[in-house]
Structure 1
Amino acid sequence: MKISEASRASGVSVRSLRFYEDRGLIVPGRYSNGYRDYCRSTLDRVHLIRSLLESGLPVRLIRELLPHLTDASDVSPELLCAEFLAEVRLYRDRLNDRIAALDTQRSALDAFLDGTP
């Protein structure tokens, strides 16, 4: 499918698809006229990229991780270097900190709302 169709099917903007390609995260095929050709597996990869970006991982780490995510199985720690895993753990810990802060804010808002008439 062409880029506009892939954008609609994936819910990701055309600009984002081009960005992912520029950063080496996806490699769509090409028609003879030069138009991009997105297959189902590329769209599946786009969804995975979005999920990883939403988790807070930077593109640099996602690019390192993607070759190890060829299917739905877990990533084997032996395949990834200790430095990479340490960075992923750091992002996970930051995410946990943000969740805790948001939970505290929500509790404060709940307390405020419970105390209002």
Structure 2
Amino acid sequence: MSIGELSQRSGASPRMLRYYEQQGLLNPVRGDNGYRRYCPDAVTTVAQIRGLLDAGLPTDAIRQILPCAHGSEPTIDPCPEILSALAHEKERLDERIRHLSTSRDTLDRYLIATHAALHRD
């Protein structure tokens, strides 16, 4: 199928599909005319990519995980390399959550102090 067809079937823009190709996540073949041709399974692959991106994974991790992903649901073969990559990404997200929580708590303290100062005057 063409990039336009894949875009319609997957809901991803042609620009995003080209980005996925640049990142090594999609591998279309080129026809004699130079146009990209995608296999029918590419719709499922795009769904997996989008799901993994929505989970906060970077494209480097997705490139590792994608060969073990099956179907449009988040189903991945339990090979040790993939489990390690997923655990690493979860740890990275946990650290970001801790940092964001600290930032939010700091902002809360400033808001409370500022609100209290306004009502003292």
C-alpha distance 32-51 of structure 1, shift in aligned 2 (>3 A) = same
**Closer, same or farther: CA 94–43 of 1 in aligned 2, 3 Å:** farther
TM, length-normalised to structure 2: 0.66
Q: How many residues align?
A: 97
Alignment of 1:103-114 (within 5 A): none
Residue of structure 2 equivalent to 1:30: 30
Seen in structure 2, the aligned counterparts of structure 1 residues 68 and 32 have a Cα distance that, compared at 3 Å, is same
Q: Aligned partners of 1:53 and 1:77: how far apart in 2?
A: 20
Give 4+ residue runs of structure 1 displaced > 2 Å after superposition.
Answer: 71-75, 77-82, 91-98
Equivalence for 2:113 = none
Rg (Cα) greater in structure: 2
TM superposition shift of 1:48: 0.3
Structure 1, residues 56-105: CA drift from partner, whole Å, max 9, x if none?
11111101111222x345321424374x243232256469878xx9xxxx
Distance in 1 (alpha carbons) for counterparts of 2:3 and 2:89? 31
Identity value in percent: 38
Unaligned 5+ runs, structure 1: 102-117
Partner of 2:90: 89
